[in-house]
Structure formats: structure tokens, C-alpha cells
């Protein structure tokens, strides 16, 4: 059933969405994305989950939206992605943002897929495979902050986490903003 849903989605919905992003080649990647928030989300998916399966890309994208919806994080997709990297190298929540390298996508196919996934997520056409995760890390690292949160899922090469009950209680009412459902280090 799950595979059939993805197959149907890919067959019916994706061609329509991809038509709008057809000109998003690696060299001219910004032309198809007039929406800055969509552009930020697509860049984050590209840099954080480029080699991941479809569900892994969805998971990374949904963590950003989960953060936007949570009162503990800034409001806005671009603001969430850039959080922590404003003034210091390698101190941001999403490593690609403050690593000192170019953020311009170099792989056209991977960029197009990242744009498509971002469009699907932003249009509300996908479910959150992380069930509300606010943090994640690559499976090959063991960050100290992971001990202070609850492991929710392993999807592709990433491990996803939610806040523990006490942290959620302190944030109040689940910490969620009423408007949107939506990496980095959790508050200590």
C-alpha cells in the first residue's frame, strides 16, 4: 500500500510539480524558485539528504517545518535553516549553511529532486515520516546532545529525535505554533 501510494504520487503529481521546476538546472538553479522559503527548503534537502532515498529527503524537509511550527525555534524556513551560523563558522544547526563552501547545487538531477520534494512538502502532499522530529544527525556520528532527546526513527542514513516529555512540558502545549506542522542541537 505504501509503495502504491508513492508510485501513484510519482506518476500523477510529480510531473505537474516538475514542470514548474524544469528550468532548475544546476547552473541556473534559482530561476524556477521565486519563493525564498521554498528555495531554502530545497537547498537544505539538497545539502543534507542528497544521497538519501525519497523518504530520507522527506524526513529532512519535515524536520525544518517541525521546527518552524515549534515555539522554541525561529519562525520561517530560511531563519530556521540559518539559525546559529550567523557569526561563527561551523556553529549552525545545519552544517552546510556555515561550512564556508559554496551553497550552489552542482548536481542538476539531485537539485531537481530536492526542489520537487520541497514542493511536495510545502504543498502539504506528504506525511511526516519522523512523526514530529526536531533534530537529526548522520548515523556515523554520536553527538553529545543526542543523550538529551528521544530517538524517534532511523530513516536512510539519519537518526531523528523528538524532545523528551519534560522538555515538551516546559515548552508548553507541545510547543507547537498553530499555523504549520515542521536539525541542530536541542536546548540544554
Which set of grid coordinates corresponds to residue 27?
547552473
* Per-chain mean pLDDT for the chain: 76
Helices (H), 108-173: 108-122, 165-171
Q: What is the mean pLDDT of residues 129-155?
A: 93
Between residues 146 and 10, the one the model is more confident about = 146
The answer to whether the beta carbons of residues 129 and 153 sit under 8 Å apart is: yes
Q: What is the pLDDT of residue 165?
A: 75
Q: Is the pLDDT of residue 109 over 80?
A: yes
Cα Rg of the chain, angstroms: 16
pLDDT of residue 33: 55
Question: For residues 149 and 153, what is the distance between their CA atoms, to the nearest angstrom?
Answer: 12
- C-alpha torsion sign, points 132, 137, 138, 143: negative
Strands 149-155, 135-138: pairing is: unpaired
Mean pLDDT of 74-85: 83
Q: What is the pTM of this model?
A: 0.72
More confident call, 66 vs 32: 66
Give the pLDDT of residue 85. 55
Give the least confident one: 67-76, 90-99, 134-143: 90-99
**pLDDT tens figures, 27-65:** 444 434 568 999 999 999 999 999 999 999 999 999 999
Looking at the predicted structure, is the pLDDT value of residue 133 above 90? yes
Which tens digits make up the pLDDT trace of 159-188?
999 988 766 666 654 454 333 333 344 443
Q: Answer yes or no: are the C-beta atoms of 33 and 115 closer than 8 Å.
A: yes
pLDDT of residue 176: 47
Which pLDDT band, with edges at 50, 70 and 90, does 23 fall under? very low
The 10s digit of each residue's pLDDT in 1-16 is 455 455 555 555 555 4
Distance CA 169, CA 137 (A): 24
Q: Which residues contact 12 (CB under 8 A, 6 or more apart)?
A: none
- The pLDDT of residue 87: 58
Amino acid at each position: 500500500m505504501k509503495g502504491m501510494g508513492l508510485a501513484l504520487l510519482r506518476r500523477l503529481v510529480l510531473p505537474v510539480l516538475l514542470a514548474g521546476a524544469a528550468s532548475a538546472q544546476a547552473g541556473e538553479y534559482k530561476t524556477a524558485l521565486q519563493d525564498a522559503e521554498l528555495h531554502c527548503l530545497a537547498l537544505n534537502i539538497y545539502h543534507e539528504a542528497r544521497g538519501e532515498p525519497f523518504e530520507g529527503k522527506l524526513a529532512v524537509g519535515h524536520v525544518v517545518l517541525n521546527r518552524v511550527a515549534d515555539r522554541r525555534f525561529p519562525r520561517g524556513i530560511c531563519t530556521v535553516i540559518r539559525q546559529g551560523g550567523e557569526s561563527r563558522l561551523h556553529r549552525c544547526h545545519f552544517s552546510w549553511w556555515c561550512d564556508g563552501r559554496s551553497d550552489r547545487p552542482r548536481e542538476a538531477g539531485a537539485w531537481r529532486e530536492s526542489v520537487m520534494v520541497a514542493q511536495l512538502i510545502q504543498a502539504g502532499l506528504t506525511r511526516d515520516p519522523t512523526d514530529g522530529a526536531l533534530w537529526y544527525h548522520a548515523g556515523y556520528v554520536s553527538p553529545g546532545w543526542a543523550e538529551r532527546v528521544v530517538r524517534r526513527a532511523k530513516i536512510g542514513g539519519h537518526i531523528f529525535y523528538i524532545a523528551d516529555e519534560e522538555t515538551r512540558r516546559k515548552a508548553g502545549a507541545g510547543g507547537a505554533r498553530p499555523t504549520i506542522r515542521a536539525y541542530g542541537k536541542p536546548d540544554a
